[in-house]
Amino acid sequence: MAACSKEESILQEPVAPVSVAADPDVAYKNKLLNDYAVVLARAVQHKELRTVIHDRAMLKFDGDFDVLVNRLESEHLPQSSVRELMRSMQTDPRLRSVGIENPDSDFLAISAIIPNVQVSVPVHCEEWDPALFVPLVAVLPWDYKEKPGQVITAYDSEGNAHQLSADEEPGFPVLVVGRSERVNDKGQMDTAGYQMSISAQHVSRSPYLLPEYPEKLLLTHGTSRSLLLEWTDVADDMGYEVWRMTGTVFVKVAQLTTNDNSYVDANLTANQKYWYKVRAIKADGFSSWSPVMATTASSRSDNEWLKIKRMKFTSSALKAVESWICGAPEIRLRVVQGSEGGATNVYTSGILEPSHRGDICDQWWNHEVTIFAWSTSVYGTVLTFDWREEDWLESVDFPLTGSYEDKQSGGTVKVGGSIYIKNDPGGDVIGNTSVMWWQEKAQIYDLSGFQWQFTY
């Protein structure tokens, strides 16, 4: 489907936003619905949001292709939640032309004020490819009544308003913001006068209680170029689906059996970042998604011993930290582990001193230093290496800052606080850098003229 293939008889010239009723309560609800539709139309430029809406609508929790807004808001995208994405759209200046004076609109409170508000895909949902087609978003007023000749307002991603005929079915998917026909104003399933064939459809036993989902998702490293996922077991599951993303689209990579709540993803590409999410297969459809986790695959294997192979200074760098009159440099290495709660010094070497100054000046000093077996479950995937030239006659207190990988924030590297080294011989700072688990084993680390390399 082409995003611009709109039939002239169905899609007409832009019109003003929907008018509101005289009743103040109705007017307020209609404005909320209209504002939400405008912002959603802008937000569905994001393919991830379109995919979430499509996938949730396909579950047909009440027999139709729709998803309640309060459920939609609980969904997570690779970088944030749907609610956070909608909030970010609120400040888009292009929305002012259609009546949203930022940040006055309280459209984000819509699910509390209208508990049965939903986003539906009433036509062409099954053949809709959310990766390719950006739909219009129409608004169904709170006081809408079906009658011949009705038109409804729909918005495109630029905030332009159009009119769609309610009598003529469009040949493309349209998202519709409005009240659910089968959920009452208190947010409860209304089954009066309505019965669905259980054999024909999967119906949630309690559509307003979010089903259990795989919690406490852990993403850890194993053997070279492999990642291990583990999560809490979901009651009454019939299996699990594991989805992975390397670019902008999640794809299913595994379907597991009942109570199988771990998965090893092997033969990955080293230095490639991977995002994962998991959901349970239930008798009545799917659970909500787990949180999204991300990390980068590595050519290292977990628990490999970490050893320094060799190091060297350029002549100018060596002069900066130790003058020739003092002879060979006295080098000390500290390794710092960062975390969300702070930083910890996990390794301190002895003094590393070559026999002669020339051994390390403009040539490699082959001196092996065993650090520890790098277990990512103990030390994480990012370590800070701090190098100093220390003269024993000095005593200096100094801070060390650690970094860590936050896998729930897209595998980003963040600062994990500082610690102070007290009453320890100190002197010139050679430099420090973060060593990432996924970096090439043979990489040469360079701190403005001081270099070192690992051995395996």
Domain boundaries, the chain: 24-179, 218-296, 304-455
User: How far is the C-alpha of 30 from the C-alpha of 40, rounded, in Å?
Assistant: 15
Contact 36, 181 (CB under 8 A): no
Contact 337, 344 (CB under 8 A): yes
57-71 confidence digits (pLDDT tens): 888 877 788 999 988
> Which phi and psi (to 5°) does residue 292 adopt?
-80, 135
User: How far is the C-alpha of 444 from the C-alpha of 385, rounded, in Å?
Assistant: 13
HSE (side-chain half, CA atoms, 13 Å) at 281: 14
Predicted local distance difference test score (pLDDT) of residue 324 = 84
Same fold, 218-296 and 304-455: yes
Predicted local distance difference test score (pLDDT) of residue 284 = 81
DSSP 106: -
Burial of 392 (0-12, 13-18, 19+ CB in 10 A): exposed
222-251 confidence digits (pLDDT tens): 999 999 999 988 888 889 999 999 988 899
Q: Worst-scoring range by mean pLDDT, 198-202, 345-349, 356-360, 412-416?
A: 198-202
pLDDT of 12 above 50: no
pLDDT of 16 above 50: no
pLDDT of 3 above 60: no
Q: What is the mean pLDDT of the chain?
A: 83
Contact 182, 193 (CB under 8 A): no
pLDDT, average across residues 147-167? 86
Task: Match domain 304-455 to its CATH number in 2.60.40, 1.20.120, 1.10.3470, 3.30.420.
Answer: 2.60.40
419-450 confidence digits (pLDDT tens): 998 877 767 899 999 999 999 989 999 999 99
Relative orientation angle of helices 82-89 and 24-43, to the nearest 10 degrees: 100
Question: Torsion-angle region of residue 373: left (phi > 0), alpha (psi -120 to 50) or beta?
Answer: beta
pLDDT, average across residues 172-199? 67
> Which phi and psi (to 5°) does residue 252 adopt?
-75, 130
- Of 279, 195, 184, 187, nearest in space to 238 by CA: 279
pLDDT, average across residues 16-26? 58
More confident: 194 or 72: 72
Please give the single-letter amino acid code of residue 325.
I
User: How far is the C-alpha of 62 from the C-alpha of 186, rounded, in Å?
Assistant: 16
Predicted local distance difference test score (pLDDT) of residue 237 = 86
Contact 250, 277 (CB under 8 A): yes
- Of 97, 182, 172, nearest in space to 133 by CA: 172
Contact 89, 108 (CB under 8 A): no
Predicted local distance difference test score (pLDDT) of residue 209 = 37
Q: Worst-scoring range by mean pLDDT, 42-46, 142-146, 152-156?
A: 142-146
Tell me which H or E stretch contains 50.
Answer: helix 47-58
DSSP 36: H
b/e 189-199 (16+ beta carbons within 10 angstroms → b)? beeeeeeeeee
pLDDT of 38 above 50: yes
Confidence of residue 189 (pLDDT cuts 50, 70, 90): low
DSSP 11: B
Which of 100-104, 138-142, 187-191 is most confident? Answer: 138-142
Which of 16-30, 56-70, 301-315 is most confident? Answer: 301-315
For 394, the token pair is 């000095």
CATH topology of domain 218-296: Immunoglobulin-like (2.60.40)
Burial of 55 (0-12, 13-18, 19+ CB in 10 A): middle
More confident: 348 or 187: 348
Predicted local distance difference test score (pLDDT) of residue 332 = 93
pTM comes to 0.55
pLDDT of 104 above 80: no
| Count of Cβ atoms closer than 10 Å to residue 395 Cβ | 12
279-293 confidence digits (pLDDT tens): 999 888 888 889 899
Contact 102, 163 (CB under 8 A): no
194-224 confidence digits (pLDDT tens): 333 323 333 333 333 334 788 888 999 999 9
Q: Which residue bears the tokens 């308003």?
A: 161
For 351, the token pair is 């003094």
| Count of Cβ atoms closer than 10 Å to residue 387 Cβ | 22
Preceding peptide of 354 cis, ω within 30°: no
From the CA atom positions of the chain, what is the Rg in Å? 30
pLDDT, average across residues 164-181? 88
Predicted local distance difference test score (pLDDT) of residue 99 = 53
